[in-house]
Structure 1
Amino acid sequence: MFRKGVTDSFGAAISGLSAANLTDTVVRRSKRMMLDTLGVGLLGTQTAVFHKALQYSMRYRALENSRVWGSPGLTLPPQYASFVNGIAVHSMDFDDTWHPATHPSGAVLPALLALSETMPVRPSGLELLLAFNVGIEVQGRLMRFSKEANNIPNRFHPPAVVGVMGSAAATAKLLGLNPGQCVEALAIAASSAGAPMANAATQTKPLHIGNATRRGLEASQLALLGLQGNGQILDVESGFGVFYPDYRPEELTVCAPFRWVLEDQDVAIKRFPAHLGMHWVADAAADVRAKILSMTPGTDLSRVKRVILRVPKSRYIDCPFPVTEHQARHSFQFNACSALLDGCVTVDSFSGRQMERKELRNLLLAVQVESPTDNPSNFDSMYCEVTVDTAEGESHTARCSTFYGHWRKPLSQADLVEKFKANASTTLPLEAVEGIVSIMDEIETMPDLSLLGLFLQMSNTTP
């Protein structure tokens, strides 16, 4: 089929990709992403930012409504359900991270589940799985149009840029839009893209995911109604190119066999809720702690002389004395000191009780940060090195180049399921937790996902 340019090629691919194009690797990886996203989203329904967004969204009602995760009986118009569920996913910075840098799943899955509950004919699990992968693929392709996107961002938060486009593509696929309508969905979504990094480490950052998933859904629904945008939105510098100074778009061609980005680039699944860079420094600090305690058991690690962190240069994750949990999730210093004191970083590490510890505050005073020239701000090639100088004049160093959970060292399926269960069980009863695991394990065979919706809202209170 003749195509006029990059945007037309994307519209044709979004419309034309089918379940036959899915590969075993893509199915396996995307199912892991979806399960992890549901778990961190359920945990996130307990956060302050989620409840503030929910309070706002409950002002709105519609004829069509979708479930709010972890809230028995509560429904909202699909756009607002996807908005609050998306916020829950990113409320603790616990969701998956890709390379080039973005959080791909949270921008797509909430919109798809909200939309599926309002469709006259409920989509099958395989249809939803395909739409999810279309949304992930569009994000992966767009990020590869810029070399700048390979690095830790310093201008725009990537999910707010590519995430809304992925949501639009995924929901357009689930709605069965034709190629021209898919082009319009991308064009409409592009006018809702972008969020400055200045709101990182604040309660507003999770809204970037909520807005991306919501606005992408709205874009595909508006395209279905005939709203039009610039049909060259991905071709021109004044279109999607405004976000990247080195923007070089390429056509997306569906051929047999189709090679998905997710086949070549897996995602990182986090073990604790913090910015991805924190996982390198936490693992290195935990290794230093183990070295010191193996040589001198009983060492008081809150009274060391100096802690040197050799990390990539990035202003928004260099926070010497975090005050809020959101700042702590973006602080090399906080995560290194937490791991030195406790041996690991956990969900509880960001509680007020743990953050206010005197020994932690004392240790933060001993931290120095260095940014070696050989340590790029890039999730695929960076490292973190921690050196601890003790009061006795000893020096101990450990370096982490690949943490457990990175795409080069992925979590085992058992550990991923354990993470999901730990997160989901804070909100749901055991029956629902186990049920979701079973559904996601066999999603491609499910005739519809009505049971998943029921599980996501089961009450864990005892009558």
Structure 2
Amino acid sequence: MDFDDTWHPATHPSGAVLPVLTALSEAFPHTRKFSGLDLLLAFNVGVEVQGRLMHFSKEAKDIPKRFHPPSVVGTLGSAAAASKFLGLSLSKCQEALAIAASYAGAPMANAATETKPLHVGNAARHGIEATFLAMLGLQGSKQILDLERGMGAFYVNYSPKVLPSLDSHTWLLDQQDVAFKSFPAHLATHWVAEAAGAVRKHLGPPGRVLIPADHIEKIVLRIPDVQYVNRPYPDSEHEARHSFQYVACAMLLDGYVTLSSFHKAQIHRPQVRELLRKVELEHPPDNQPNFNTLYCEISVILKDGATFTERSDTFYGHWRKPLRQEDLQEKFRVNASRTLSFDTVESLMKIVEKLEDLEDCSVLTTLLKGSSPPAESSKYTEYNLSIAPSLLRLTNM
């Protein structure tokens, strides 16, 4: 769905880690239980390792051009999380990361196709497989993170640093939150949507039809030069999710962008195709492809000469402007209810809010599968309904 959370440097950290831990939590006999605190610590380790690896490269600070980051650092994050969860020794953890590095990497050319989600799925799968192989005695290079011909093969300007210990109190996760998307599309399109929404207020009242498309002479988007999100005439939902042009036109026409905005019937509306023909892109030299600094400016020029311009520097949902708690709740409810019952969704929210108190986190997996939790988990129904932001990561599985 392209709803994954996003961190900086650019990667989707949760999708490669959470499925591994929920799977492991139910993979062993009931005599071995993993607590919610075990899961949280391993999850944080898996995310932290991804962030540390991304900080080893200046290239990684910008929107990627060659390799899809979750398929690279996500694979090692998966292995790190599994290793921590299973209590592997330092030596075995090193082996797991070394093996995982040989599984890593997927080309950006498969972005905006059905294969892109497979990258994250493979990262989860290959990381846990690397961990199992390390447990069985398979060995790899213990310098894999230090060498240009190791992890440096994926990034230019690769400059590794010593990883801090868990008790060093210098976690990247403490320094910056992740971004949670309000609609399922490439993160850069969210700046476009916010700017286009601001322009639309000049063109008609909320909830009303936009002025006729033939009254619009031109739509100019001033955005970073990101070629795989430059798709003038998207033909599929995956292409539309990676199209600056389509997201701008959908927002101008409808006043919103949601999951249904990417259905094929919506993409091929005559009004949309007409507006797409009017879109022009400009790439200001100060607008670099970096999720921490990029902006979008949109100008709509009418045939009578009137021009309306708006700019977004930080969209709602970015780590500098996070979604409100109630919007996080609503996002989870909408997504999870496509698969799970109302009661199950509410139970999940209650449990995750107090996940660190959960004695057996296989209860979480049971609920995600749509089954009823064991009787001893009924006490969690007493928890407050407010939801921790980490719950949204469950929707990316």
Give the TM-score normalised by structure 2.
0.90
Work out whether 1:441 is the aligned partner of 2:353.
yes
Is residue 106 from structure 1 mapped to residue 15 from structure 2 by the alignment? Answer: yes
Which residue matches 1:115? 24
**1:143-201: CA deviation from partner (whole Å, max 9, x where unpaired):** 00001101011100000110000000000001110000000000000000111111010
- AA paired with 2:331? K
Unmatched runs of 5 consecutive residues or more in structure 1:
1-91
Q: Distance in 1 between matches of 2:271 and 2:252?
A: 11
Does the 8 Å contact 1:301/1:340 carry over to 2? no
Contact 1:150 1:378 (C-alpha < 8 Å) held by counterparts: yes
Alignment correspondent of 2:279: 367
**1:307 touches 1:368 (CA, 8 Å); kept in 2?**
yes
Corresponding letter in the other structure for 1:196: P
The within-5 A match list for 1:376-395 is 376-395=288-307
Quote the Cα distance in structure 1 between the aligned partners of 2:120 and 2:329.
Answer: 23
Which residue number corresponds to residue 151 of structure 1?
62
Which of 205, 208, 218 lines up with 1:306 in the alignment?
A: 218
Deviations 1:413-460 (A, max 9, x none): 111111000111111111000000011101000001232222212279
Contact 1:312-1:377 at 8 Å conserved across structures: yes
CA distance in 1, matches of 2:155, 2:76: 15
CA distance in 2, matches of 1:299, 1:255: 54
In structure 1, C-alpha distance between the alignment counterparts of 2:365 and 2:47, rounded to whole Å: 22
* Segments of 4+ moved more than 4 angstroms: none
CA distance in 2, matches of 1:437, 1:371: 42
The equivalent of 2:125 in structure 1 is 214
Kindly provide the CA deviation profile for residues 354-412 of structure 1, in whole angstroms up to 9, marking residues without a partner as x: 11211011000000011110101000000001100012210000000000000000011
SS of 1:436 mapped into structure 2: helix
Deviation at 1:257, TM superposition (A): 4.5
- For these two proteins, the number of residue pairs brought into alignment is 368
Q: Alignment partner for residue 249 of structure 2, among 314, 334, 337? A: 337
- Are the equivalent residues in 1 in contact too, given 2:58–2:156 (CA < 8 A)? no
Partner of 1:125: 36
Deviates more, 1:451-460 or 1:345-354: 451-460
Answering whether residue 328 of structure 2 is matched by residue 411 of structure 1, we say: no
Q: Which residue of 2 aligns with 1:262?
A: 173
Aligned-pair Cα RMSD in Å: 1.5
Partner residue of 2:381?
Answer: none
Amino acid at match of 2:174: E
Q: Distance in 2 between matches of 1:182 and 1:442?
A: 29
Aligned to 2:391: none
1:181-330 mapped onto 2 (5 Å cutoff): 181-254=92-165, 256-293=167-204, 300-303=211-214, 304-330=216-242
Residues 459 and 124 from structure 1, CA distance in 2 versus in 1: closer, same or farther, beyond 3 angstroms?
A: closer
Q: Which residue in 2 is equivalent to 1:398?
A: 310
2:394 alignment partner in structure 1: none
Percent identical across equivalent pairs?
A: 57
Partner of 1:166: 77
Indicate if the aligned counterparts of 2:203 and 2:211 stay in contact, CA closer than 8 A: no
| C-alpha deviation, 1:301, in angstroms | 4.8
8 Å CA contact retained: 2:10, 2:63: yes
Shift of 1:117: 1.0
Structure 2 CA distance for aligned equivalents of residues 201 and 245 of structure 1 = 24
Could you say what secondary structure the match of 1:338 adopts? Answer: helix
Give the aligned residue type for 1:235.
D
Once residues 242 and 446 of structure 1 are traced to their aligned partners in structure 2, the CA distance between those partners, rounded to angstroms, is: 41
Partner of 1:55: none
Amino acid at match of 1:93: D
> Once the 2 structures are TM-superposed, how far is the Cα of residue 302 of structure 1 from its aligned partner?
2.3
- The alignment's TM-score, normalised by the length of structure 1, stands at 0.78
Counterpart-to-counterpart distance in 2, 1:125 and 1:256: 20
**Counterpart AA for 1:244:** Y
Distance, in Å, in 2 between the alignment partners of 1:334 and 1:122 is 48
Deviations, residues 215-273 of structure 1 (Å, cap 9, x unaligned): 00001111111110001111111111111120000001227552211111211000000
Shift of residue 122, structure 1, vs aligned partner: 2.3
| Contact 2:25–2:362, Cα closer than 8 Å, also in 1 | no
State the partner residue of 2:368. 456
Q: 8 Å contact 2:210–2:254 — kept in the other structure? A: no
**Cα distance in 1 between the residues matched to 2:340 and 2:75:** 29
Q: SS at 2:309's partner residue?
A: strand
Between the aligned partners of 1:257 and 1:197, the Cα distance in structure 2 is 35
